[in-house]
Chain A
Amino acid sequence: MTLPSDATGASVGPAIGTLPEAVVEPAAAGGPPPSIWPPVTRPVLIARIVIGVALSVAVLYAPFYFPPETNRVLSQALYIAIAAMGLNLLTGFNGQVSIGHGAFFGVGAFTSAILMVDHGWTFEATIPVAAALTGVVGMLVGFPALRVRGLYLALVTLGMAVLFPRVASKYVEGSGGVALLRPARGEFASLIEPLDDDQWAYFVCLVFTVVLFVLAWNLVRGRMGRAMVAVRDQEIAAATVGVNLAGTKVGTFALSAVYAGVAGSLSVMVNRIADGTNPILYFQLSIEFLVAMVIGGAATILGPAVGAFLLVLLRRNTEDLIEGKEILAPAIFGAALIAIVYVLPEGIVGGVRRLLARLGRRSTRAATPGASGPPGPPAAPAAPPPESGRQTDDSTNRGGSDDEGT
């Protein structure tokens, strides 16, 4: 069962990202299988184009409309989305649970900050270096991670996040003698004069978010993506069909670390600070990435973005909601988290998909069967047929074959 089943060392993976077993049960129903998405008829296509255009316009115009403070918050949501996507690749699609991605984030942040403050680099130039460095660190962590299973991995990564600020504070010295770096405004290359700092920051974050998300989308749909999911769901079986387990797992680790590292770099631009003095900051960040991923929808493409925005929104608003009883803010935040996960176990994207499926089924009755497959980013690449056995009593049994035919 669950994350657990791990006293035995089994590979841990959320059951998310696999098609709901309802879709897997075939023609026993005596009709065409229900499709997840509404069929691509003309009205749907038009609706999608309209929504897409409207969204793009809104996103591009936003920084000119909002005050700098809001833009800062939006930029934060963007880089958190990037980090959450990185975590999503590792945990959602590949099944390796990490609650320490804050550490990679920190590595990226400090790399950028140090290069700028101590060596006078321009910000944009630091990003590739930060990415490369975090990638290497990710790989270094990924190798021992091969030997450590599910829940232990979670704990070890937790350790990383707790450790990072201590290590940083020991080896990094900023202007106050503490590990606090504040790159001055002039150290950022401002390529476009008419833009204010906050707007420029927003656009840089936006560009990176879009690029990295599209990259992730392509990855997930391709061979690597299928390998990742195969390793998550049935590691041993995947190995027997030739998937390079170590390569996939370490590679995914490194890649997800890169995402977090880039997010860290961006955070330096947005917040003008790399903070090594707060002992639980990177732990909190790790949790935030995890939360963003889960409430948005793990193993989906849009999930991390949706989750990140919701997270930032929640945080701001719980702070505003309670005057005088600020101490309650974490409680409300915590309650909101629990509520979301209660009501939408597959995250928001997952929940929306279910809703559409229900609506779609009503209109699919008369529509042509065999409508085209999932339009837009697919939920998850074709996973090996999930054993509906997962939902029943056989899930932890490994002594026999569990290929289920009803």
Chain B
Amino acid sequence: MQLFVEQVINGIANGVVYGSVALALVLIFRTTGVLNFAQGEMALFSTFITWKLASESDGAGLPVVAAIAISMAIAFVAGAVIERMLIRPVEEARSPLNVVIVTLGLFLGLNSVAQLIFGTDPQQISSPFPEGNVELFSSGGDAAVISKATIGMILVLLAECILLWLLLQRTKLGLKLRAVASNPDSARLHGIKSGRMLMLGWAMAAAIGALAGALVASSPQRAGFDGSLMQTILVYAFAAAALGGFDSLLGAVVSGLVVGVADALTIQYVDALDGIEVVLPLALILVVLVVSPNGLFGRRTVERV
């Protein structure tokens, strides 16, 4: 029982990470309709910037929270620029595969440039959350604990979800974003500057990614981060986003947790899958999608000829 709870908590800690990146993926998808394979590497780059700003030995020595905020602002601008300069011109040729190629190109490019600029050594970012753990309960033996950092991340993630939901569903700006995502040409005919909305979608997702990257990298369970930070996370994040239906922000977050927990439990309890634990999230996606083709939380749309 003890072990089970620990694994669940482990899973949640990982799941929060997957959920954060999945959130960014779904946001870009919902506002611009693009599958951004470079999301992880964009976050990585931002994380390096955060490190540079916060590091006392190699950088500016700013307080971590300030570093994260600045890095998010930079990511915001960068995301908008990337959308305008790299994604939009290619998308206007109306080939979705070309956009995929561009994001793959970005994936390769950002990763290697980041390592070139910031070096290949593992680096550290101190956690913005208080140290220590919170006891959940004790059952005779040691108490099951969850780190404050993990709780902090969960809260941040929840806050992001709520803010984004409010933005999208309750504001005019959100309506414009959703309209552009649904039918950009029609949106233009109604006076909505589609281009700006697309840039905004990418900008927000980039900022969220930067936040996620920084929080992951600073997690006390890690011994720092390097260029490989986001690579496995991205696969899991995609799994979470797919599970959640790609059009539900909350779905992405919840699915992230599901994937994290399922992964942790499988590693622990299913020996047959030793070494191929990643089977589970992928198998999970497959099963869920076959049963419910729009994901668990996705909306079904009736298609008319």
> In the complex the two chains form, what is the Cα distance from A331 to B115 in whole Å?
10
B303 touches A4 (CB 8 A): no
B56 contacts the other chain (Cβ, under 8 Å)? no
Count of B interface residues, CB-CB < 8 Å = 67
Within 8 Å by CB of B304, from A144, A290, A398, lies A398
Within 8 Å by CB of A91, from B35, B97, B115, lies B97
> In the complex the two chains form, what is the Cα distance from A328 to B185 in whole Å?
39
Within 8 Å by CB of B285, from A155, A290, A392, A396, lies A155
A9 contacts the other chain (Cβ, under 8 Å)? yes
In the complex, the chain A residue whose C-beta lies closest to that of B235 is A162
B298 contacts the other chain (Cβ, under 8 Å)? yes
Binary CB contact string for chain B from 263 to 305 against chain A (1 if under 8 A, 0 otherwise): 0000000000001101101100110011001110011110111
> In the complex the two chains form, what is the Cα distance from A328 to B238 in whole Å?
26
A50 contacts the other chain (Cβ, under 8 Å)? no
- Interface size bracket, A side: 35 or more
B107 contacts the other chain (Cβ, under 8 Å)? yes
B91 touches A2 (CB 8 A): yes
A229 contacts the other chain (Cβ, under 8 Å)? no
Number of A-B residue pairs having CB atoms within 8 Å of each other in the complex:
202
Within 8 Å by CB of A334, from B34, B104, B303, lies B104
B184 contacts the other chain (Cβ, under 8 Å)? yes
Instruction: Give the chain A neighbours of B101 by CB distance below 8 A.
Output: 290-291, 294-295, 337-338, 341
B239 touches A335 (CB 8 A): no
Q: In whole Å, how far is A227's beta carbon from the nearest beta carbon of chain B?
A: 18
A4 touches B285 (CB 8 A): no
Interface centre among A2, A7, A328 (most CB of B within 10 A): A7
Binary CB contact string for chain A from 395 to 406 against chain B (1 if under 8 A, 0 otherwise): 111110000000
> In the complex the two chains form, what is the Cα distance from A74 to B113 in whole Å?
30
A236 touches B303 (CB 8 A): yes
- Can you name 14 extra interface pairs (CB under 8 A) apart from A325-B116, A341-B101, A393-B188? A4-B34, A4-B35, A9-B294, A156-B282, A158-B235, A236-B303, A327-B115, A334-B109, A337-B105, A338-B86, A338-B102, A341-B98, A346-B93, A391-B94
Can you spell out 28 A-B residue pairs with CB atoms less than 8 angstroms apart? A1-B184, A2-B33, A3-B100, A6-B246, A9-B294, A9-B303, A10-B303, A144-B290, A152-B285, A156-B282, A163-B276, A166-B275, A170-B276, A291-B101, A294-B97, A325-B116, A329-B112, A331-B113, A331-B116, A334-B107, A334-B108, A337-B101, A338-B102, A341-B105, A342-B102, A393-B189, A395-B183, A399-B304
